[in-house]
A and B are shown apart, each in its own frame.
Chain A
Amino acid sequence: MTVRMDKRFAAVKAEGRPALVTYFMGGDPDFDTSLGIMKALPGAGSDIIELGMPFSDPMADGPAVQMAGQRALKGGQTLSKTLDLAARFRETDNDTPIVMMGYYNPIYVYGVDKFLDDAIAAGIDGLIVVDLPPEMDDELCIPALAKGINFIRLATPTTDDKRLPTVLKNTSGFVYYVSMNGITGSALPDPSLIAGAVKRIKGHTDLPVCVGFGVKTADHAKAIGASADGVVVGTAIVQQIAGSLTKDGKAGPDTVASVVTLVRGLATGVRAARLVAAE
């Protein structure tokens, strides 16, 4: 675990609440707006930032994240620029953990060793690479762990008790529980099912378990946060950005502000979560 990630989970635990993990696509709709959004997230109540790396063929993502990636690529975003985004953020914030999330090919083409060195230099704390299951750990997971970057794995409803140890073996930072089989942006399943799944995973690991896929409102965040160590919100933020753009897809006057408003509401939700659990 990097110190930042460690400290942050300890801090929210001390506050008796789950962490709010916010995802946005790096470079959507352009580099500067994206940096503005990223810088505004901690103040709005985000505890951990997931920084999306755009990819032309995001096979596990729904339409909202697909389009965000297309906008970013159209705006000239590259993996190198996404690393730069993190580095610029770090100039003013050295506490909020940053997890880069995306697909393997841009990293593979960039070069794994060079990528990890540049990621460390940019202040990255963890990686989520959707298309690298444990069977492919030699590609990036093992080299990342060796260099001190967390490799955060997704666990899904298809990850049964037999498979969980395989999935958790080289996982660090936290476990990202994908609340349903499907793509990002689908509907939220029953929170009681999720609570059961979180409990099951916690039987296998001491790592924090964060839950994502389908969390869109403060009420969702509150409900999920009752059982999880963290609540991940992605599609709702990406849609908020999309809705704030001008007709030709450029940043609107309220793009950053509208994301802040949404995240503030979600932050209220996670802060109320354990109160619900205690009732």
Chain B
Amino acid sequence: MNETPKPNSFRSGPDEDGRFGIFGGRFVAETLMPLILDLQGEWEKAKNDPAFQKELADLGTHYIGRPSPLYFAERLTEHLGGAKIYFKREELNHTGSHKINNCIGQILLAKRMGKTRIIAETGAGQHGVASATVAARFGFPCVVYMGATDVERQAPNVFRMKLLGAEVIPVTAGNGTLKDAMNEALRDWVTNVEDTYYLIGTAAGPHPYPELVRDFQSVIGKEAREQILEAEGRLPDMVIAAVGGGSNAIGIFHPFLDDADVQIVGVEAGGRGLQGVEHCASITAGAPGVLHGNRTYLLQDHDGQILEGHSVSAGLDYPGIGPEHSWLHDIGRAEYVPIMDQEALDAFQVLTRLEGIIPALEPSHALAEVIKRAPKMRKDQIIVMNLSGRGDKDIFTVAKILGMDM
């Protein structure tokens, strides 16, 4: 029996053209169109194939280590004196972040499609590491494009990727960050269409990527929803996650979208402040535009030229955001707020000292928002935050900023 989606559901997107309201779509060169149509067809089949779902679930359990715990942060809760704070511990996954959830799913798709080579873009290197990991696990050659600036500030992840057998290609165009890496990955894909699978790391790009990445990442929210019901017997009052491209955020948000009483908060990188161009707050300070295959909020000038942006966190250093977030913002279902570099760095240290968890700089942005909001909430209220990655990769960056000698 076909179930028609509830008319008031926030979870039925995208439409058949890959649109979430005016956002999303398929803005790619003709060379790539047959590929993304193939991918869409394969994804439709895989979604409904019990063997595919079983393999995905088995790898989730035994390779990634799912489910990830939902941890009650007792000392942080006491310290802030307000709402109860829970962390969805995605940083405990194999490879240290949520990125592996999507990579396992997409490599299974690549295998089904008979592709023999994997390419990926990476900012912080978490997606690059996860891509290199699954490529090693399934025996694919893997090329990772990474901005030259990021290669420098995320050196441990570069080494990890190389150990895993991936070729890391530094991209010097632009500011040498995630945007430039994505351009270069697209250029590779358009040149090597026959054998290459482009493993996009975030819930952005041309349809069907925003949908399929979200679906692979939604395991986060599905588990968190069950876990909080078990721990507290009710849903949380608020779900918070950091948003760069927005895959960890949409992964935890999506299963809660139709729970009207759950407030959804996405945290963008405010960088050095929103007044200039040194931030990556696409929704808070950008405007709708078209880049990398989709329409979404972008940092751009009045001529439609994309700006470079800045964030202390390489993973959030992207001038766009996944199209579903743009839509959730426009219809008012989710709220997006900026957190500055300094606030994120402070939060990073708070968590390290109070809970013995070193978070990545990306979820440190979400944490900074938790630190602002929890004290204003009642003690019987609940916040669930996606702790999307661990901070080992960031210790050199943080040491440099704090002036510590390593």
Name A65-122 residues within 8 Å CB distance of B: 66, 73, 78-80, 103-110
Given known A57-B183, A155-B30, contact A106–B190 (CB-CB < 8 A): no
Distance in angstroms between the alpha carbons of A186 and B34 in the assembled complex: 21
Name B174-232 residues within 8 Å CB distance of A: 174, 179, 183, 186-187, 190-194
Chain A residues whose CB sits within 8 angstroms of the CB of B194 once the complex forms: 181
The answer to whether A159 touches B183 (Cβ under 8 A) is no
Chain A residues whose CB sits within 8 angstroms of the CB of B192 once the complex forms: 181
The answer to whether B33 touches A163 (Cβ under 8 A) is yes
The answer to whether A60 touches B289 (Cβ under 8 A) is no
Given known A106-B303, A108-B289, contact A181–B27 (CB-CB < 8 A): no
The answer to whether B30 touches A135 (Cβ under 8 A) is no
Name B282-296 residues within 8 Å CB distance of A: 287, 289-293, 295
Given known A131-B29, A131-B293, A159-B34, contact A181–B302 (CB-CB < 8 A): no
CB distance from B300 to the nearest CB of A (A): 7
| 8 Å CB contact of B191 from A66, A79, A104, A186 | A186
Chain B residues whose CB sits within 8 angstroms of the CB of A55 once the complex forms: 304-305
B315 at the A interface (CB under 8 A): no
Chain A residues whose CB sits within 8 angstroms of the CB of B31 once the complex forms: 60, 154, 156-158, 178, 181-182
Most buried by B among A108, A158, A163, A186: A158
Given known A59-B183, A153-B30, A158-B31, contact A109–B300 (CB-CB < 8 A): yes
Main secondary structure on B side of the interface with A: mixed
B357 at the A interface (CB under 8 A): no
The answer to whether B26 touches A158 (Cβ under 8 A) is no
| 8 Å CB contact of A59 from B17, B33, B187, B295 | B187
A40 at the B interface (CB under 8 A): no
- State the interface size on chain B (CB cutoff 8 A): 37
Main secondary structure on A side of the interface with B: loop
Chain B residues whose CB sits within 8 angstroms of the CB of A132 once the complex forms: 27
| 8 Å CB contact of B26 from A61, A78, A133, A155 | A133
Chain A residues whose CB sits within 8 angstroms of the CB of B33 once the complex forms: 133-135, 158, 163
The answer to whether B292 touches A135 (Cβ under 8 A) is no
Distance in angstroms between the alpha carbons of A13 and B192 in the assembled complex: 36
Given known A109-B289, A109-B304, A136-B25, contact A181–B183 (CB-CB < 8 A): no
B351 at the A interface (CB under 8 A): no
For chain A, the bracket of interface size reads 35 or more
The answer to whether A158 touches B303 (Cβ under 8 A) is no
Chain A residues whose CB sits within 8 angstroms of the CB of B191 once the complex forms: 181-183, 186
The answer to whether A133 touches B28 (Cβ under 8 A) is yes
The answer to whether B30 touches A156 (Cβ under 8 A) is yes
Distance in angstroms between the alpha carbons of A167 and B292 in the assembled complex: 21
B164 at the A interface (CB under 8 A): no
Chain B residues whose CB sits within 8 angstroms of the CB of A142 once the complex forms: none
The residue on A at minimum CB distance from B298 is A105
| 8 Å CB contact of A107 from B295, B298, B304, B306 | B304
A254 at the B interface (CB under 8 A): no
The answer to whether A167 touches B303 (Cβ under 8 A) is no
| 8 Å CB contact of B29 from A73, A154, A186 | A154
Interface residues, chain B, CB within 8 Å of chain A?
Answer: 17, 25-35, 173-174, 179, 183, 186-187, 190-194, 287, 289-293, 295, 298, 300, 302-306
What are 9 residue pairs bridging A and B, where the CB atoms are less than 8 Å apart in the complex? A57-B306, A58-B183, A59-B190, A60-B29, A61-B187, A105-B298, A106-B304, A109-B302, A156-B29
A103-B290, A136-B27 are known contacts; what are 8 more A-B pairs with Cβ within 8 Å?
A78-B303, A79-B304, A80-B303, A108-B290, A110-B304, A131-B28, A135-B25, A163-B34
